[in-house]
Amino acid sequence: MLKCPNCASKDIGKIGINQYYCWNCFIELSVAKGIINTHQVEEDGTLSSLDDLFEEEERRYTL
């Protein structure tokens, strides 16, 4: 089960292939090679990475 690295919510919606959205804190998540990448959607629609905020341990995604 995918869990949001930011807020630990499991209220995650799928928005594309390997792409997810956290309905609790409104960040976008993508999964690549077992690591969750986190992105914030800016007001102008661009994505900025939040990965620096998390340890790799927190971002690891295991099935």
Kindly list the residues in this chain that would bind Zn ion in the complex (CB under 5 A): 4, 6-7, 9, 22, 24-25
End-to-end alpha carbon distance in the chain: 7
Instruction: Name the residue nearer to Zn ion (CB basis): 44 or 58.
Output: 58
In the complex, the smallest distance separating the C-beta of residue 55 from Zn ion, rounded to whole angstroms, is 16
Tell how far CA 28 is from the center of its chain: 5
In the complex, the smallest distance separating the C-beta of residue 59 from Zn ion, rounded to whole angstroms, is 13
Instruction: Name the residue nearer to Zn ion (CB basis): 7 or 53.
Output: 7
What does the alpha-carbon distance between residue 55 and residue 37 come to, in Å, rounded to a whole number? Answer: 11
